[in-house]
């Protein structure tokens, strides 16, 4: 075996992250690594890449035991990490970004030998069919090409054990297919690949073997040729999971949210949302698809009052909310599940109970005059934890100590704890395991069936197709198409996402 992890154990205060995990990957093999949030995948890969030292166990490369005290030693051993969030300097060109930290130098003053570096980048790009322009600026490259640059960085450092962490998270379906072709080409050339993902369809398509982690242990290893999505989901969470969103037909009512000729600028002053027109009715879910960075974030922030509108109209129940405060919009019955729960949805160093009342602490029954009613707050928080199955030691636990799925449940419980006209859910299941995704989807469908209008913004095409009664697509800041849910497919929505109208 090219790489073996034997009995890897790692414990943090109060948490056994890895419990005697053993996995092996051969040369030229693609191993899919699945697991819930908190299953131990990240800890295991941090040990492999030299960021952590294991408490027990060993790493073997070609049969030889290796010990890494820092990431540089792991890189020298041929291990390359391609992170979900790109580690690229936007103003650099491809050669500079790839060579950063591993520069070859020439001359008396030891200046960067760009010619040699460029020659090697071109050679690697051609050998592995990456098709990257070595002189292009990183900030000008599409997301899919930036992903290839990250792979080039690892190959440039002579990595032949490649760890890909959620590599398709920001790609269109077509870019994902291209990535799979690159992975297969790398494996055929002898590279060992560990492919970390939560997308069951993808791991079944690209992996030669699939190992599933659950609660810090290996739950099983299966052959993708005979495995099913249902089997993998069961291994991940330890129970049967409903992979299809159970929902009946929508019964749309009156228009709740209306966007007219909406224009919104981003933080740099560029027009991020351009002339968007959209109506969402009571009792329907509109799923907004698109690759991250096509104006969805700015659109959501404008609707909930967090970003100024350049021009156009935003109407709630036929009344303008264009220049209204976020608190006023919330008080009008608008729920907001933000795309970044850690930055905008929760305060990590506040308790579960305190986070539950973040947007309602000033209203009865949680306040009496200028005083908080802690008895009422605790009672409501206890009930929410029970109703939304939040796995927490107690309501006095800090929200930041919860897993991602349980943090998201706290946000959803808070936002859904009152009568609602409109739900704005941005990336509501980002980074969640299949069990938590199932739960969040059920709660959103419940709100639709109770008469709320729902706007879900997601980069996950599978989620868009599963929950949307109508599917709208944003590309380049514009709304480029709307497809009825029953006729929406990977192909027609994926083409719109990729700019083919």
Reported as a single tens digit per residue, the pLDDT across 396-451 is 999 988 877 788 889 999 999 899 999 999 988 876 777 778 888 999 999 999 99
Residue 364: per-residue pLDDT: 86
Mind listing the pLDDT tens digit for each residue in 297-350?
999 999 999 999 999 999 999 999 998 999 999 999 999 999 888 888 999 999
- Check whether the bond before 451 is cis (ω within 30° of 0): no
Domains of the chain in sequence order: 3-237 (3.40.50.300), 255-497 (3.40.50.300)
Cα gap 82→149, rounded to integer Å: 10
Please tell me the chain's helix, strand, coil percentages from 3-state DSSP, rounded to the nearest 5: 35, 25, 40
Q: What is the pLDDT of residue 64?
A: 92
Beta strands in 123-181 (DSSP E): 161-165
> What is the model's pLDDT at position 444?
94
Q: Which residue stretches of the chain have pLDDT < 70? A: 37-38, 107-108, 169-170, 243, 431, 501
Number of neighbours of residue 320 by Cβ within 10 angstroms:
13
Look at residue 170 in the predicted model and tell me its pLDDT: 67
| 238 dihedral zone (left: phi>0; alpha: psi -120 to 50; beta) | left
Closest to 469 (Cα-Cα) out of 248, 250, 288: 250
Q: What are the residues whose beta carbons fall under 8 Å from the beta carbon of 93, sequence distance 6 or more?
A: 134, 135, 136, 137, 138
Q: What are 270's two structure tokens?
A: 């560029």
Residue bearing tokens 């209204």:
324
pLDDT confidence of residue 431: 66
Closest CA to 288 of 455, 422, 440: 455
Give me the count of residues in the chain: 501
């Amino acid at each position: 075996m090219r790489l073996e992890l034997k009995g890897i154990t790692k414990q943090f205060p109060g948490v056994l992250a890895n419990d005697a995990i053993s996995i092996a990957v051969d040369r030229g093999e693609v191993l899919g690594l699945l697991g819930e949030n908190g299953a131990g995948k990240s800890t295991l890969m941090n040990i492999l890449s030299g960021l952590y030292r294991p408490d027990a166990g060993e790493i073997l490369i070609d049969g030889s035991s290796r010990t890494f005290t820092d990431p540089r030693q792991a890189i020298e051993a041929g291990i390359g990490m391609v992170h979900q969030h790109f580690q690229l300097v936007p103003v650099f060109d491809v050669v500079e970004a790839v060579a950063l930290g591993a520069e070859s130098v020439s001359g008396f003053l030891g200046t960067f030998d760009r010619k040699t570096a460029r020659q090697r980048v071109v050679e690697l790009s051609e050998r592995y069919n990456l098709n990257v322009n070595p002189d292009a600026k990183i900030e000008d490259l599409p997301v899919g090409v930036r992903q290839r640059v990250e792979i080039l960085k690892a190959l440039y450092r002579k990595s032949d054990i490649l760890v890909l962490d959620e590599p398709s998270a920001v790609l269109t379906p077509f870019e994902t297919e291209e990535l799979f072709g690159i992975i297969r080409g790398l494996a055929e050339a002898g590279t060992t690949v560990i492919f970390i993902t939560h997308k069951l369809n993808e791991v079944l398509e690209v992996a030669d073997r699939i190992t599933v982690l659950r609660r810090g242990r290996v739950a099983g290893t299966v052959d993708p040729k005979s495995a099913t999505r249902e089997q993998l989901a069961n291994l991940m969470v330890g129970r049967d999971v409903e992979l299809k969103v159970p929902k009946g037909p929508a019964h749309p009512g009156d228009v709740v949210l209306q966007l007219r000729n909406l224009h919104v600028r981003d933080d740099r002053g560029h027009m991020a949302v351009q002339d968007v027109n959209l109506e969402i009715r009571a009792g329907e879910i509109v799923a907004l698809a698109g690759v991250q960075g096509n104006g969805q974030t700015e659109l959501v922030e404008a609707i909930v009052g967090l970003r100024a509108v350049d021009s156009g109209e935003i109407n709630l129940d036929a009344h303008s909310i264009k220049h209204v405060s976020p608190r006023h919009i919330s008080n009008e019955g608008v729920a907001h599940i933000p795309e970044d729960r850690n930055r905008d949805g929760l305060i990590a160093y506040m308790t579960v109970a305190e986070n539950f009342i973040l947007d309602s602490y000033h209203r009865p029954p949680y306040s009496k005059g200028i005083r908080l009613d802690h008895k009422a707050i605790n009672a409501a928080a206890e009930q929410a934890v029970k109703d939304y199955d939040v796995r927490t030691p107690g309501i006095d636990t800090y929200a930041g100590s919860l897993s991602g799925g349980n943090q998201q449940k706290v946000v959803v419980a808070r936002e859904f704890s009152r009568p609602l006209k409109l739900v704005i859910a941005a990336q509501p299941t980002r980074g969640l395991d299949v069990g938590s995704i199932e739960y969040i989807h059920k709660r959103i469908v419940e709100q639709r069936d109770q008469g709320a209008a729902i706007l879900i913004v997601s980069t996950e095409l599978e989620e868009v197709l599963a929950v949307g009664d109508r599917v709208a697509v944003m590309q380049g800041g514009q709304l480029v198409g709307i497809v009825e849910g029953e006729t929406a497919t990977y192909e027609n929505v994926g083409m719109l996402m990729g700019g083919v109208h």
